[in-house]
Amino acid sequence: MSCDLSALANLDPSDADAAQRLLDQCTAALTDPSLWIWAIVFTVVCAVVGALIGRYKNAVVRDAVLGAALGPIGWIISLLLPAQRPKPACPKCRRIVDAGDAHCRHCGAKQ
């Protein structure tokens, strides 16, 4: 007996031992370390590709999270999302200021 839908469809409801064996096989398949290693590697690769996409759109964290969470679908979403504009910097102290500020809140320079 293998852990798939056909085994579940052919399961005799009155045979508790067969149901327990099927449950044990499915649990063993889900807790197999090689399955988890592949899942973790796939998630990390998807996050790295998402971060590379985000590097060109100035949204590395956003696109890395999309890649890690959704995989290749997240890459497509990342490609379709608009690029984020960098926040403006003060010409005098080079610290980040809000776009609508008339003066820098750090050094007081006029924007």
Write out pLDDT tens, residues 8-44: 888 888 999 988 989 998 899 888 899 999 999 999 9
Predicted pLDDT of residue 54: 94
Predicted pLDDT of residue 79: 94
Write out the two tokens for 32: 């197999």
Q: Report, as an integer, the average pLDDT of 66-82.
A: 96
Predicted pLDDT of residue 67: 97
Average pLDDT, the chain: 89
Write out the two tokens for 23: 């449950």
Percent of the chain scored above 90 by pLDDT?
A: 47
Predicted pLDDT of residue 99: 74
Q: Report, as an integer, the average pLDDT of 97-107.
A: 80
Predicted pLDDT of residue 2: 78
